[in-house]
Amino acid sequence: MIKTKKKFGKGLFLVNALAIVHRGNKILIGKRKLPDPYIKKLTWSFPGGRLYHTKSLEDSLKTEIKKKTNLNVKVKKLIFARVWPARKEFLLLYFYCEPVSGKEKAGEKFTEIKWVKPTEVKKYFTTNVDSFIMNFLRKLEKKP
């Protein structure tokens, strides 16, 4: 990786796709196995993970959600991208998703999953939730 970084001169990002899985008036979050090897403060998070270079963004995200929650989802749209403030090498892509099948259960890297009201993530997350994402969650909570 160092040789590649030197070759391009600017470095590379570790890209993670995260899903805001929305059903009814709730979203799905998962409690991480601790400690997280990259972000020590991380406890609860949106399901997702690193992308596969052999798959599309959407297929990578669907695979990661299935492994972590046992749900099959429809990826509706990319809603936001940002660099993680604490670890600037992490590029996070946030997608809005809806479940289409499967019975949710905690899987890879999650010890527990739960459906919560969108704005309740602040009660669970021990890391920063971007203001854009919080505004998006507020709008979801107001949806009929």
Tell me the range of 31-35, 66-70, 106-110 where mean pLDDT is highest: 66-70
Q: What's the pLDDT band for 28 if we cut at 50, 70, 90? A: very high
* Cβ-based burial of 112 (10 A; exposed 0-12, middle 13-18, buried ≥19): exposed
What mean pLDDT value characterizes the chain? 87
The topology (CATH level 3) of 18-45+59-142 is: Nucleoside Triphosphate Pyrophosphohydrolase (3.90.79)
pTM here is 0.87
Q: Cβ atoms within 10 A of the Cβ of 121, count?
A: 19
Strands 48-50 and 26-32: unpaired
Q: Cβ atoms within 10 A of the Cβ of 97, count?
A: 27
